[in-house]
């Protein structure tokens, strides 16, 4: 049983773990448990797995009537999770983070079923810190996680990512053709996540004429919340080398085309970019719990494996940072080599091996 979700950063590692397990044990039965109304309820079935939903939801940061419903949703989810665990009778339960993880792992631990927590970030979330006390194993993506978890339970496996990210060699020509990019122009890839990042979009808008004039081309994922507005503004600009997309599904091709990557610092993005091995400028979101995106980014910046541009400085400084990288190719080569040295390409297999020990 695999529980959690809410964002791609939780869902895609969960699916990668399931795929790794299925490859080794094809006759196994796997049940996902997610939060009703969240993206896992669509993405998991698309990946070929069964999923059931809990009514659990998080507390709103602002004053909201929805917060009055929180205790009732949590109680209902705990009862439903207990029934799911009793009916499915899993040999092991994995929690990848997100609202559904808490009730499911809590129910499994109460029944004496071994549980494994997969923490994607460099700063552990509150739910995982609580669940880890009774978990048998904690798989982490960053070193020095003994600050949050018992050292004897930790396995440094890395974050599982999609397999196509591991195979970029020879794809550049196909990638340029796919996105309508020009061979002679350097490509800047802008990634703000599937929903989009306001600051990154505003930064590109501010500098897009200068980037175009400097001879760059931009492959820009704006996210669904901002796409319509960005499309109107880019169409009005008449710039031919700003290639806007709402969402990029062919991420392997996008990475293959890129010379420099500008990205938020969500856990999954950081893990993917370490495998890509190209120069990265992280612009961490300040709107996340415990500022964990900045902590994710700094784990790489401190090893000279990426650059950091603060969110409140990004608008107006994006091109300056890109120029610095482009004007000294040696810096980009060093950043790419350093970030790749921190990669964990076999994370899903490592987690599967930890699970095997728990059910042996």
What gap in Å lies between CA 125 and CA 186, rounded to an integer? Answer: 38
Q: What is the pLDDT of residue 67?
A: 59
**Cβ–Cβ under 8 Å, residues 147 and 119:** no
pLDDT at 37: 92
Per-residue pLDDT of the chain (360 residues; tens, 9 = 90+): 999 988 878 898 999 999 999 999 999 999 999 999 999 999 999 999 999 999 987 655 555 666 567 678 889 999 999 999 999 999 999 999 888 999 999 999 999 999 999 999 999 988 899 999 999 999 999 989 999 999 999 999 999 988 788 889 999 999 999 999 999 999 999 998 777 899 999 999 999 999 999 999 999 999 989 999 999 999 999 999 999 999 998 999 999 999 999 999 999 899 999 999 999 999 999 988 789 899 999 999 999 999 999 999 999 999 999 999 999 999 999 999 999 999 999 999 999 999 999 998
Per-residue pLDDT, 70: 67
**How confident is the model at residue 287, as a pLDDT?**
87
pTM exceeds 0.75 = yes
Same fold, 2-159+345-359 and 164-341: yes
Which two tokens mark 215?
A: 């001879």
CA 242 from centroid of its chain's CA atoms: 25
Contacts 24+ apart (CB under 8 A), 348-353: 348/13, 348/16, 348/17, 348/19, 348/20, 348/160, 349/20, 350/139, 350/155, 350/157, 350/158, 351/17, 351/20, 351/94, 351/116, 351/118, 351/139, 351/155, 351/157, 351/160, 352/17, 352/20, 352/21, 352/24
Alpha-carbon torsion, ordered 54, 59, 62, 68, to 10 deg: 80
What pLDDT, on a 0 to 100 scale, did the predictor assign at position 162?
Answer: 80
Q: Can you say which residues are annotated as belonging to the binding site? A: 7-9, 121, 162, 194, 248, 267-272, 293
The predicted structure's pLDDT at residue 347: 96
- Any idea where the domains of the chain sit in the sequence? 2-159+345-359, 164-341
pLDDT in tens, 98-120: 889 999 999 999 999 999 999 99
pLDDT score at 73: 81
Give the residue numbers of the binding site for UDP-N-acetyl-alpha-D-glucosamine.
Answer: 7-9, 121, 162, 194, 248, 267-272, 293
pLDDT of res. 74: 85
DSSP annotation string for 102-153: HHHHHHHHHTT--EEEEE-SSS--HHHHHHTTT-SEEEESSS-GGGTS-GGG
Output b/e per residue, 313-329; b: 16+ Cβ within 10 A: ebbeebbebbeebbeee
Phi, psi angle pair for 343, to nearest 5°: -75, 155
Residue 48's region, left for phi above 0, alpha for psi from -120 to 50, else beta, is left
pLDDT at site 15: 95
pLDDT of residue 202: 97
- Sign, Cα dihedral of 92, 96, 100, 102: positive
- Strand ordering across the sheet containing 186-191: 242-245, 216-221, 186-191, 260-263, 280-282, 307-308
The closest of 34, 13, 5, 17 to 268, measured between CA atoms, is 13
Q: Is the domain 2-159+345-359 a CATH 3.40.50.2000 member?
A: yes
User: Helix 329-341 vs helix 267-276: angle between axes, to the nearest 10 degrees?
Assistant: 110
- Residue 50: how many other CB atoms lie within 10 Å: 12
Superfamily of domain 164-341 in the CATH hierarchy? Glycogen Phosphorylase B; (3.40.50.2000)
């Amino acid at each position: 049983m695999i529980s959690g979700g809410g964002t791609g950063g939780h869902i895609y590692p969960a699916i990668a773990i399931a795929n790794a397990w299925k490859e080794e044990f094809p006759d196994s039965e796997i049940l996902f448990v997610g939060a009703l109304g969240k993206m896992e309820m669509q993405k998991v079935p698309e990946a070929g797995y069964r999923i059931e939903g809990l009514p659990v939801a998080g507390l709103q940061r602002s004053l909201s009537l929805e917060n009055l419903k929180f205790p009732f949703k949590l109680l209902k989810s705990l009862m439903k999770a207990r029934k799911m665990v009793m009916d499915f009778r899993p040999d092991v339960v994995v929690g990848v983070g997100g609202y559904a993880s808490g009730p499911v792992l809590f129910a499994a631990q109460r029944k004496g079923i071994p549980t494994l927590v997969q923490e994607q970030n460099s700063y552990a979330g509150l739910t995982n810190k609580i669940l880890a006390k009774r978990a048998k194993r904690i798989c982490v993506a960053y070193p020095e996680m003994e600050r949050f978890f018992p050292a004897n339970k930790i396995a440094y496996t890395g974050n599982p990512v999609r397999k196509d990210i591991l195979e970029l060699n020879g794809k550049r020509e196909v990638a340029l053709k796919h996105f309508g990019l020009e061979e002679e122009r350097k490509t800047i890839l802008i990634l703000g996540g599937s929903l989009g990042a306001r600051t990154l979009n505003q930064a590109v808008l501010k500098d897009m004429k200068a980037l175009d004039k400097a001879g760059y081309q931009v492959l820009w994922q704006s996210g669904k919340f901002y796409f319509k507005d960005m499309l109107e503004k880019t169409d009005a600009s008449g710039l031919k080398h700003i290639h806007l997309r709402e969402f990029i599904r062919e991420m392997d091709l996008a990475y293959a085309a890129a010379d420099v990557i500008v990205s938020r610092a969500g856990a999954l993005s950081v893990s993917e970019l370490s495998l890509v091995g190209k120069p990265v400028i992280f612009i961490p979101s300040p709107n996340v719990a415990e500022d964990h995106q900045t902590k994710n980014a700094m784990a790489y910046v401190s090893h000279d494996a990426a650059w950091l541009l603060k969110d409140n400085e990004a608008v107006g400084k994006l091109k300056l940072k890109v120029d610095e990288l482009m004007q000294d190719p040696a810096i980009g080569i060093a950043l790419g080599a350093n970030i790749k040295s921190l990669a964990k390409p076999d994370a899903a297999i490592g987690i599967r091996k930890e699970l095997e020990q728990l059910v042996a």
